[in-house]
Amino acid sequence: MEQESGFRPSTASNVPPIVEMKNIEKHFGNIIALAGVSFDVRSGECHCLLGDNGAGKSTFIKTMSGVHQPTHGELLFEGKRMDFTTPRDAMEVGIATVFQDLAMIPLMSVTRNFFMGREPTVGRGPFKRMDIARMNTETMGAMRKMGINLRVPDQAVGTLSGGERQAVAIARAVYFGAKILILDEPTSALGVRQTSNVLATVDRVRAQGVGVVFISHNVRHALAVGDRFTVLNRGKTLGTARRGEISPEELQNMMAGGQEIVQFEGAQGGTV
């Protein structure tokens, strides 16, 4: 693939991608939200998709996760073409998305949020009930794997920090079989310590062989965990680089339209 402005070709990996998007286009009437986006992610890899507001990141997420169907192009999962019609289709094969709102109920316990809609049961007929003991044990174990030691499993999610709530959502997705985890701006609006905890959680997820798609506009956070970096601008990918192939400044400039600013400065005689 021909690379633009600062990107150098990435070294090909012998590991086949779990998910591969090929020349994806998404049109909304006359509006072209994605214009030939190609992207892939492998097992145990964190592939960061970077872009400023309006770059097309939300449309990309929703297309990969089955909310939107592509106008053109194809999506492959483990080498097989997929035509997702709903997010449930994507979840069933192993693509899970953690959105910014986390889809949690603050007044409910961590355990109830963890198993929401998928609660294990014991007993039969009129004696059938949720297996609370098992739910508590499984929740505590899953959270420990993410480096979070809960005081008690029945504490309300609303009492957790933003980073801890992110960890609950990530642990939930991995527990229920995610092979690909899409994280939508997971460090947005978090403090420094909470951000560090979330980034550590991403590393733990990768260590379990899960492929991570890290969506962000924060270059520093992406560089802390990313293996590869793809920049999205106005619905188009500007290229893909591996860690060490491109500087933080180059990434930031490409995200924020740095090329256009340089051209404008040149046209104005450098007086901007």
pLDDT, tens digit (0-9, with 9 covering 90-100), for 185-207: 998 878 888 899 899 999 999 99
- 124-157: pLDDT as tens digits: 888 889 999 999 999 999 999 888 888 888 899 9
Query: Residue 213 region, left (φ>0) first, then alpha (ψ -120 to 50), else beta?
Result: beta
Domains along the chain with CATH numbers: 19-267 (3.40.50.300)
- Type of residue numbered 44: G
Task: Give residue 269's pLDDT.
Answer: 59
Distance of alpha carbon 131 from alpha carbon 122, whole angstroms: 6
Task: Give residue 89's pLDDT.
Answer: 94
For the chain, which ranges sit under pLDDT 50? Answer: 1-12, 258, 261-262, 264, 272
DSSP output for 186-225: TTTT--HHHHHHHHHHHHHHHHTT-EEEEEES-HHHHHHH
Distance of alpha carbon 222 from alpha carbon 57, whole angstroms: 14
The partner residues of 27 in beta bridges, in order of sequence, read 32
109 phi/psi in degrees, rounded to 5: -70, 165
Angle between helices 192-207 and 162-175 (to 10 degrees): 10
Task: Give residue 251's pLDDT.
Answer: 86
Task: Give residue 83's pLDDT.
Answer: 92
